[in-house]
Structure 1
Amino acid sequence: MAIPRVRAAVIALHWQVNVLRPEGFFGPMLAAPVAASGVVPRAVRLHAAAAERGLPVVFVRFTIPVGEGVATNLVVEQTARHATDLGFTVYPVSDCVAAASPETHAASLANLELTTAGCRTADQVLDLIGPR
Structure 2
Amino acid sequence: MDEIIELSEKAWEANRNGDAAFYDRFLTEDPVSVSPWGVVTDREQILRGFAENRNPYTRTDQSDHRVIMLTPDSAVHTVTVEIDVLVNGTDKQTMRMFATTALVRRDGEWRAALFQVTPAPEA
Per the normalisation by structure 1, the TM-score is 0.27
Q: Which has more helix, going by share of residues?
A: 1
Per the normalisation by structure 2, the TM-score is 0.29
